[in-house]
Amino acid sequence: MSSQPNNLWPEDFGVIAIVPPVVILKEQAGVLSRMTKNIVEGEVRSSSLAPGGQFYHTLGLVAPALGGYRYELIGIYHDIQLYPADVVYLLGNTRETAHSEEELKDILRNRFADDRTKKIISALIAQSSVQSA
Amino acid sequence: MLTFLFWNLNNRPIEDRVRRLATRHEPDVLILTECAIPAVTMLRTLNTGNETGDYHLTDSKCDEVVIYTRFSREFTVPMHESGRYTIRAISLPARDQILLAATHLPSKLFIEEHGQTLECVGLAEAIRATERRAGHSRTVLVGDFNMNPFEAGISAAMGLHGVMAREVARRGMRTVQGASYPFFYNPMWGHFGDASKGPPGTYYYERADHNVFFWHIFDQVLIRPSILDAFDNENLMVLTDDGSDSFLSERGRPDRRTASDHLPMVFGLNL
């Protein structure tokens, strides 16, 4: 004879109001793609196999005209709590911690504006122009 | 509806005309052959002032075919490619995967008829092998075959096996000499001559010979029976203008000076 088990769970799990780092990263990937007319596309890859059960996301710069050449720009580690998130700027191999959505956006804004980032993107556009000419 | 646009550009720098076509017909998949327009130029042209969605260049090892999509590159995965054709799996969210095969086969200027037929035999086998690997045959094949629908490469069982009637294609397979060959439905048969809704063909060629057709349909789309219900003949059009200017000369033939020696075509699949 079967009976329904007692429900020990709360009625409501609540809604997290914060935006996950991967969402911010994907938004910025789309923005870059639109800015460059898809000559350089931002592409996010995610994995949940990072050490310590962390999530790991990378933002790569992809040049479709160069056979899909991909240059890794940013890596973000975080656990299931989403924040704090460790941001690794792969061009400089620097690591910073964002404790909130706003801090993450500030770090990304600074890293996107870094001369090394701009140089890589402009080089990918230039190389794509030569390659596809 | 997933909309496809195919055009052989005859190596002409006509990216503005491609953009006008894209704006007018909003193809989700833009397939180009004899495309000498640099990818960067095409992307800048297609994606400037385009309110219907940006185009992405997809990966390819096939030099003869260039494919741009309005969806992300990650949804098209090359399954099998050669210098003459590319076979892609298109896996869009909430839709069944389809296979898109696109080709540009050699011209009669460079290869004799038997060679063309054998090219089709090779392509047909590559498609069947890819279908076996994918586990389905929801396949659409499009391209400039440099052959008419009635030529052996396109119609023969061991070739692409494209037939003119849905009813025949729906039989699925046909056995010839003990071997079974799957059908394609070839709707291009209905686009020959003046009684068709569009121009008499997609390509015009004449010479001082006895048996000359003048208009040809080298540019074709063929559809496997398993996705035939998704294809409506009304959604297949051979195009004669880009909404602003004609692709035809004053004599009513493809105008290679201002456009291409081939006419483009658009078709849709209700997936």
The mean pLDDT value of chain A amounts to 92
Can you tell me the distance from the alpha carbon of B90 to that of B67, in angstroms, rounded to the nearest whole number? 12
Instruction: Assign A53 a pLDDT band (cuts: 50, 70, 90).
Output: confident
Per-domain boundaries in chain B: 2-269
The predicted structure's pLDDT at residue A3:
79
The mean pLDDT value of chain B amounts to 96
Q: Which of B40, B50, B60, B63 to mutate to test the interface with A (most CBs of A within 10 A)?
A: B40
H or E stretch including B80?
strand B76-81
- Could you tell me if A18 and A101 are in contact, meaning their C-beta atoms sit under 8 angstroms apart? yes
Q: Is B43 on the interface with A (CB under 8 A)?
A: yes
Q: Which residues from A are below 8 Å from B55, CB to CB?
A: 38
**Token pair of B179, please?**
């071997």
The predicted structure's pLDDT at residue A130:
86
The predicted structure's pLDDT at residue A132:
61
Whether the predicted pLDDT of B75 surpasses 90: yes
Model confidence pLDDT, tens digit, residues B182-209: 999 999 999 999 999 999 999 999 999 9
Which residue in the block uniquely carries the two structure tokens 């060959």? B181
Whether the predicted pLDDT of B173 surpasses 70: yes
Q: ipTM more than 0.90? A: no
**Token pair of B126, please?**
């590559």
Q: Which residues from B are below 8 Å from A67, CB to CB?
A: 59
Cα B2–chain centre separation: 14
Q: Is A128 on the interface with B (CB under 8 A)?
A: yes
Model confidence pLDDT, tens digit, residues A11-32: 999 888 899 999 999 999 999 9
Q: Map residue B74 onto helix, strand or coil.
A: helix
Q: Å from A93 to nearest chain B CA? A: 28
Of chain B, the percentage scoring pLDDT greater than 90 comes to 94
Q: Map residue A111 onto helix, strand or coil.
A: helix
DSSP B140-159: EEEEE-SS-TTSHHHHSTTT
- Could you tell me if B131 and B122 are in contact, meaning their C-beta atoms sit under 8 angstroms apart? no
- Lowest mean per-residue pLDDT among B43-52, B115-124, B169-178: B43-52
The predicted structure's pLDDT at residue B198:
95
Q: Which of B40, B54, B59 sits opposite A68 (nearest CB)?
A: B59
- Could you tell me if B189 and B100 are in contact, meaning their C-beta atoms sit under 8 angstroms apart? no
Instruction: Put residue A117 in one of left, alpha, beta given phi > 0 → left and psi -120 to 50 → alpha.
Output: alpha
Instruction: Assign B89 a pLDDT band (cuts: 50, 70, 90).
Output: very high
Interface of A with B in 17-76 (CB under 8 A): 33-34, 37-39, 41, 43, 62, 64-65, 67-68
Q: Which residues from A are below 8 Å from B41, CB to CB?
A: 132
Q: Which residues from B are below 8 Å from A129, CB to CB?
A: 38, 40
Fold of B2-269: Deoxyribonuclease I; Chain A (3.60.10)
What is the total residue count of chain A?
133
The model carries a pTM of 0.93
The predicted structure's pLDDT at residue B52:
63
